[in-house]
Chains A and B, each alone.
Chain A
């Protein structure tokens, strides 16, 4: 800084920032690619003045001391332009001349992100890398009397059910009398959770849909994807691929005008309808699509004007209470599709989940319950909601499952959970642990973005700028200059890789436990943890 610059409370130096850029004058060719690619303009071309001593022995009375200027890269320190550590500069540099490094001390930036009284908003999820899911072990290895199952060669039936199941006596009676039986879908237990068209870029959405279609039609894996709250492209609504899609309706009802009008023209029914009441990443908040991302296409699909912030209200405004909301919305959604499509609510993990579940258990139409834990991801939310609000998913699920067991309804209302599954890369292990705690299936979003599209976000404050439409990978941007970086074919291919390897890993987990004929839902005797308190809370074994 210059000598006469004014220092304000929010004047930061490089040391105060979470990420610092190391740049090598030796290697830099001044191509300018890093400054061009930086999504937040954290680096800029800089002019540096440097003293040099250059003594000429033939000119003894001449001063050898002088000044030279050179050009290079300068990191900006204003809070609005802080480096987010995405590493795109390092990716594009032809000479490996630049690299972001994490500060060795907690940053001071965090105290200054609320300029103008606007608290920090971002994408991603809770900034907390660990979690109880990774600590759960599978200890009940079937050694006693068995020839072990062969994960590679034996037959495995790893599907789950989405839909209300009647108790056996009643169900079989209805079959014989041709009575109404709630619709049920047999699906793969790893579901792509709701990420809206709008939050995601067009190639990301297209890639996911292509990958899902391939998994279903070529690999025989009945994978399903939720639309999130943002409607569904009109051509998809009228295509046979709709059967792989779970249509989400949330409090903003974005896109539902289009969906309702498309019903008479639908060739197939959607897989299910998910009514979103809450999201684990930001309980109490509705969806939020910031104006940067509301372009013509998004505006058309959602039925809104362009370039405005699109906050969904935190509650379904037309309803008085969640009991009423759940009952009425489930009814009307069932009616819209002639009682052929399962309808279930999704809530954020909460200590009051049991009350919601109790209501559902008495509602014969409720097709399931999805619970999104505190580690769920989002495209945009206040940092405080992400970091501090919400309930861990494991104990919330366990309470709900054991409650169903005590009611004898554990096979009737499937529980689906999401939020932080595979946060540290252990997707199959986390998913299997949750199933054994009682989940019928799991929903993943962030993991899909990371594995299938190369998302850079992390729980240690890397990137996470999905909210401002500047995603450097083109995943969560609506700017064609950014999203053309993402090829939908590549996304589809990576999604297939991800699912196929998940399937192998799942078998590698269940085979040694002696399970293959059915998904081991509620097989809690297989689980253990070396944390006594967690073991007691989850009612699983304690091991050391």
Chain B
């Protein structure tokens, strides 16, 4: 079982804080890999909230190919964070030529594009780069999106963090999601590592999604180019989130109604019963099954945690106005925020979605039996 920790804080926090929290929970992961998602960045990138940032791992040759591709598209490098690597990586961590975090200026002809078109094109560029990388094995691209950095690597989280010097100040962020991996495949594909990302949405999960194949088949036929990859059975969680908010125009409260809908008796008693019954039917192919705890972030920096229908995975949310932490275990939470009011820690149950909005004032509990916010 993997371990998850996520922080949302008014003041930028170092990713090492999250990695140390994972280390506290190390009984729950085997040190086989780490995935990091950083958003609402501090440091120099704070000045470039709108410029897309490319994160990935490249070989020397990969960088050359990337540069020529991006220049052809008309992207200009605006800022980059260079990660200098010691000659020899620590045991268990593969040698890489370059971890890239680079902010670009949009090509001139993109300037006047409508926002939606820009967003669609960013996905196309990311998919094209991933495809190029797969052909030659010289680049792995995690994300290409404004105000977003993703780093994934094989190895023990803390060791990788120190090796990549993730404690440096220019990587501090107000939103951090980190997953410590419990390996279930022999050959680890970095694309199968959490968190997963699409158009500003990101999720990470622990557990197993037993309804993966029918969900994958359904998502792939939605006509959305970004619903692809599916290296992990958990990747569909982020796509369903994207689909619920972007395609159905619903809020985060509706996500749980899509992935784990209420049973009929409850629907009848629900103030939005009729609406939800339709949603359950029409989104039937997106119902997840199996034990899962999902932690996710929306493009507006809302952070949430939702549990499967039977609440078979651990998960806790705690903190104080200004800083909240979502964690698999209480010890992870204790490590990051020892001085919080522990009585107000909350463990979401089978009907709950715990939400911390971008203002970070409180943990908002959306219970599935509650009325949905006004529908429009």
What chain B residues lie within 8 Å of A145 (beta carbons)?
1, 182, 184, 206-208, 291
Question: Are B309's CB and A166's CB within 8 A?
Answer: no
Of the listed stretches B13-21, B34-42, B125-133, B280-288, chain A binds: B280-288
CB neighbors of B among A7-50 (8 A): none
Residues of A in contact with B (beta carbons under 8 Å apart): 140, 142, 144-147, 149, 154-155, 157, 159, 161, 165-169, 171-172, 175-176, 181, 184, 186, 405-408, 410-411, 513-518, 520-525
B265 — nearest CB in chain A belongs to which residue?
A220
What chain A residues lie within 8 Å of B226 (beta carbons)?
none
B286 — nearest CB in chain A belongs to which residue?
A168
What chain B residues lie within 8 Å of A172 (beta carbons)?
248-250, 278-279, 282
15 contacts between A and B (CB under 8 A): A146-B207, A147-B312, A168-B243, A171-B281, A171-B282, A172-B248, A172-B279, A186-B264, A405-B217, A407-B221, A410-B217, A411-B284, A514-B289, A514-B290, A523-B214
Proximity string of chain B (217-253) to chain A, C-beta cutoff 8 Å, 1 when within and 0 when not: 1100111000000000000000000010001111000
Greatest chain B CB density within 10 A among A159, A167, A522 is at A522
What chain A residues lie within 8 Å of B184 (beta carbons)?
144-145
Question: Are B208's CB and A168's CB within 8 A?
Answer: no
Question: Are B213's CB and A517's CB within 8 A?
Answer: no
Q: Told that A172-B250, A517-B308 touch, could you supply 10 new A-B pairs with CB distance under 8 A?
A: A140-B210, A165-B284, A166-B282, A175-B275, A175-B278, A514-B210, A517-B260, A517-B309, A518-B287, A525-B213
Complex CA gap A155/B266 in Å reads: 13
Complex CA gap A493/B77 in Å reads: 76
B223 — nearest CB in chain A belongs to which residue?
A408
Q: Is the interface of A mostly helix, strand, loop or mixed?
A: loop
What chain A residues lie within 8 Å of B278 (beta carbons)?
171-172, 175, 181
Question: Are A521's CB and B214's CB within 8 A?
Answer: yes
Minimum CB–CB distance from A408 to chain B (whole Å) comes to 3
Out of A146, A149, A176, A517, which one reaches B288, CB within 8 Å?
A: A517
Question: Are B375's CB and A157's CB within 8 A?
Answer: no
Asked, given contacts A171-B278, A408-B223, whether A522 binds B217 with beta carbons under 8 Å apart, the answer is yes
Question: Are B210's CB and A513's CB within 8 A?
Answer: yes
Minimum CB–CB distance from B328 to chain A (whole Å) comes to 13
Minimum CB–CB distance from A438 to chain B (whole Å) comes to 9
What chain B residues lie within 8 Å of A517 (beta carbons)?
211, 260, 287-289, 308-309
Question: Are A523's CB and B263's CB within 8 A?
Answer: no
Question: Are B213's CB and A169's CB within 8 A?
Answer: no
**Lowest 8 A-B CB distances belong to which pairs?**
A408-B221, A514-B210, A171-B282, A522-B214, A518-B287, A411-B285, A514-B290, A525-B213
Question: Are B210's CB and A411's CB within 8 A?
Answer: no
Chain A CB within 8 A of B255 CB:
no
Chain A CB within 8 A of B371 CB:
no
Q: Is the interface of B mostly helix, strand, loop or mixed?
A: loop
CB neighbors of A among B287-331 (8 A): 287-291, 308-310, 312
What chain A residues lie within 8 Å of B208 (beta carbons)?
142, 144-146, 514
What chain B residues lie within 8 Å of A410 (beta carbons)?
214, 217-218, 221, 285
Complex CA gap A147/B207 in Å reads: 10
Chain A CB within 8 A of B145 CB:
no
Complex CA gap A522/B213 in Å reads: 8
Out of A154, A181, A405, A518, which one reaches B284, CB within 8 Å?
A: A518
CB neighbors of A among B124-156 (8 A): none
Chain A CB within 8 A of B212 CB:
yes
Asked, given contacts A144-B208, A147-B312, A172-B248, whether A516 binds B289 with beta carbons under 8 Å apart, the answer is yes
What chain A residues lie within 8 Å of B284 (beta carbons)?
161, 165, 411, 518
Question: Are B213's CB and A168's CB within 8 A?
Answer: no
Complex CA gap A411/B260 in Å reads: 17
What chain A residues lie within 8 Å of B249 (beta carbons)?
172
A160 — nearest CB in chain B belongs to which residue?
B284
B285 — nearest CB in chain A belongs to which residue?
A411
What chain A residues lie within 8 Å of B223 (beta carbons)?
408
Question: Are A176's CB and B213's CB within 8 A?
Answer: no
Minimum CB–CB distance from B205 to chain A (whole Å) comes to 11
A515 — nearest CB in chain B belongs to which residue?
B289
What chain A residues lie within 8 Å of B212 (beta carbons)?
525
Question: Are B283's CB and A516's CB within 8 A?
Answer: no
Question: Are B290's CB and A518's CB within 8 A?
Answer: no
Complex CA gap A147/B309 in Å reads: 14
B247 — nearest CB in chain A belongs to which residue?
A169
Out of A161, A513, A523, which one reaches B281, CB within 8 Å?
A: A161
Complex CA gap A523/B184 in Å reads: 21
Proximity string of chain B (161-188) to chain A, C-beta cutoff 8 Å, 1 when within and 0 when not: 0000000000000000000001010000
What chain B residues lie within 8 Å of A513 (beta carbons)?
210
What chain A residues lie within 8 Å of B263 (beta carbons)?
155, 157
What chain B residues lie within 8 Å of A516 (beta carbons)?
289, 309-310
Complex CA gap A517/B257 in Å reads: 12
What chain B residues lie within 8 Å of A149 (beta carbons)?
310
Complex CA gap A514/B207 in Å reads: 11
Out of B213, B218, B289, which one reaches A411, CB within 8 Å?
A: B218
Minimum CB–CB distance from A136 to chain B (whole Å) comes to 16
What chain A residues lie within 8 Å of B310 (beta carbons)?
149, 154-155, 516
Asked, given contacts A142-B210, A525-B213, whether A147 binds B218 with beta carbons under 8 Å apart, the answer is no
Greatest chain A CB density within 10 A among B1, B275, B312 is at B312
Minimum CB–CB distance from A218 to chain B (whole Å) comes to 16
Out of A155, A169, A522, which one reaches B248, CB within 8 Å?
A: A169
What chain B residues lie within 8 Å of A157 (beta carbons)?
263
Complex CA gap A145/B3 in Å reads: 12
Minimum CB–CB distance from B194 to chain A (whole Å) comes to 13
Question: Are A146's CB and B214's CB within 8 A?
Answer: no
Complex CA gap A229/B2 in Å reads: 57
What chain B residues lie within 8 Å of A161 (beta carbons)?
281, 284
What chain A residues lie within 8 Å of B221 (beta carbons)?
405-408, 410
A186 — nearest CB in chain B belongs to which residue?
B264
Question: Are B275's CB and A146's CB within 8 A?
Answer: no
Question: Are A168's CB and B291's CB within 8 A?
Answer: no
Complex CA gap A518/B214 in Å reads: 11
B287 — nearest CB in chain A belongs to which residue?
A518
What chain A residues lie within 8 Å of B206 (beta carbons)?
145
What chain B residues lie within 8 Å of A524 (beta carbons)?
213
Question: Are B287's CB and A523's CB within 8 A?
Answer: no
